[in-house]
Amino acid sequence: MRPYIGSEIGELETVILHRPGTEMLRLTPENKDDLLFDDVLWLERAQEEHDQFAKVLTDHGVQVLYLRDLLSQTLEVTEAKSYLVKEVLSACESGCGGDSSIQHWAERLSPTDLADVLIAGITKEELLEQLPTVSSMTLATMGNDDLLLPPLPNHLFTRDSSSWVYQGVSINAMQHPARRRESLSYRAIYRWHPLFAGQDFPLWCDGDTSPGVTMEGGDIQILGNGAVMIGVSERTSSQGVEQLSAALFKGGVEQVIAVHMAKNRAQMHLDTIMTMVDHGTFTKYVGAGMMPTYTLRPGDDGSIHTTENPPEAMNDVIAQALGVDSIITLTTPQDSRAAAREQWNDGANTLAIAPGVVVTYESNVNTNEYLTAQGITVHTIPGSELGRGRGGPHCMSCPVSRKPLT
């Protein structure tokens, strides 16, 4: 397997998914907002839905790599285990990283058990069951159910913290604290896992968070033709776009189209309002309208040349980047209330598994019927539980390899 993503629609060969697990049982009505979910979910049903998603992919010949497996296999490497234990505990807000006995306990865990702790977190009671001698004032003031290490339920949305762009990968700097630890998992996987360790690929960004610099994969779309489109959104900053663009230009990317979006949760990423479904063809939420864009190109001296484009030029700007005369935007004909409901339920969040072949949530009936009528092959999956974190098939997938377009 040679990682390479040259488009959003080339035949999908390899993808990283995360099957929801124990971390979802940490969600409560009290902490769900901090953990960026709209509601708690029914884990067993969410797992069934996710299994159906994975089956659609494997039925089409896609190799599915599960994040938990990749992480546990990475932790078999002693250096990787030491790195993650040190980095995770040092970032632990409860202060658990200052206790050497906790670090020694974590390093003695099996790779599988440690992977589960890193993803699902751990409570005071769970730690004391395994390490009854540990003692601190911090622990004494905590309730038994309090989390020493918070869970990572948003690992479900594998695209956001890791994005393969052409021949390299960006480990993304996440906007919210609840997601920043996700980047550590990918940093270790891409450095030490046998699938990636022996390969020479650029690391466009390493996930480090600097003031004002954020980037999330739901805003990144690989157009092909040496171009990338990135949303400037609630989660991705202009500084983040410029930082990633500078790295991409050094690697041969010719231009980046930055799309300035409304800043709200319903449209948190570019892929919540538009995704590519076929050659020069996008599905798009009608409420998004035409948006201002900026065309970024590399300068001869390492600088970035930026051209501001008015909203009405958006489609022409994307067409120029694709190297085509015009693009097609498929906007489902429905009233504004129906459109808003389907957008909220990720109607535009399609995952292309080949040109003109997409995976969507079954609940978005109007959008699915319209795409089908326009010649798009639509494979639907249930998502009543998976969608409670505001993400669809595009969000829940990190493509690693696609076939080149012909």
What the chain holds in terms of domains, given with CATH numbers, is 12-66+153-402 (3.75.10.10), 94-149 (no CATH)
Residue with tokens 């003109």: 356
According to DSSP, the residues that pair with 258 across neighbouring strands are: 230, 294
Give per-10-residue mean pLDDT for the chain (406 aa): 96 99 96 93 97 99 99 98 93 65 92 98 92 82 90 97 98 94 96 95 91 95 98 96 97 98 85 97 94 96 95 98 98 90 88 98 95 98 92 97 95
| pLDDT one-digit tens code per residue, 50-84 | 999 999 999 999 999 999 999 999 999 999 999 99
| Residue 319: Cβ-neighbour burial (10 angstroms; 0-12, 13-18, 19+) | middle
Q: How far is CA 82 from CA 131, 181, 238, in A?
A: 19, 16, 35
pLDDT score at 31: 94
Cβ atoms within 10 Å, residue 327: 21
Are the C-beta atoms of residues 400 and 190 closer than 8 Å to each other? no
- Rounded to whole angstroms, how far apart are CA atoms 308 and 238? 13
Exactly one of 92, 205, 395, 398 is catalytic; name it: 395
The SS3 assignment for 54 reads: helix
pLDDT score at 94: 60
| Predicted TM-score of the model (pTM) | 0.96
pLDDT score at 93: 61
pLDDT score at 91: 73
pLDDT score at 259: 98
Query: Quick one: which of 154, 181, 273, 178 has its CA closest to 221?
Result: 273
58, two tokens: 């494997």
- Catalytic site residue 205? no
Are the C-beta atoms of residues 230 and 220 closer than 8 Å to each other? yes
